[in-house]
Amino acid sequence: MARTRKKAKTLWWAVSRLFFILLLLSMLAAYVSNQVTISSKQAELDALNEQIAQQQSENEELERILSGDPDEIVEWIARDSYGYAAPNERIIVDISGN
């Protein structure tokens, strides 16, 4: 009878150790998964912050242009939207894609 109890106790000890090891492994897998998610979201946040900064500088440029003389606004629209140029002015277009 003492031998049966010892086997049961040993079996219980082995099962509890196995459960504990599996619990630790699942926690480790969840931690690694969360770290990967955090790093990808951080990269996405950095890209969005860069887009925000670029858009803010573009907005400042447009505000500067629109707060100026109406003739300057018309000139800017003609140059930017329609590709017009002033007399004796050459427009160079970079077609290399860089």
Q: Is the pTM of this model over 0.75?
A: no
Q: pLDDT tens digit string along 1-31?
A: 667 777 778 888 999 999 999 999 999 999 9
Greater pLDDT, 79 or 38? 38
Contact by Cβ (8 Å): 79, 85? yes
How far apart CA 26 and CA 32 sit, in angstroms, is: 10
What angle do helix axes 70-82 and 2-66 make, rounded to 10 degrees? Answer: 120
Q: Which two tokens stand for residue 77?
A: 């629209």
Say if residue 94's pLDDT is above 70: yes
Q: What are the residue ranges of helices labelled H in 67-98?
A: 70-82
Q: pLDDT tens digit string along 50-87?
A: 999 999 999 998 888 778 788 888 888 888 888 788 88
Contact by Cβ (8 Å): 79, 71? no
20: amino acid identity, one letter? F
Q: What's the confidence (pLDDT) of residue 47? A: 96
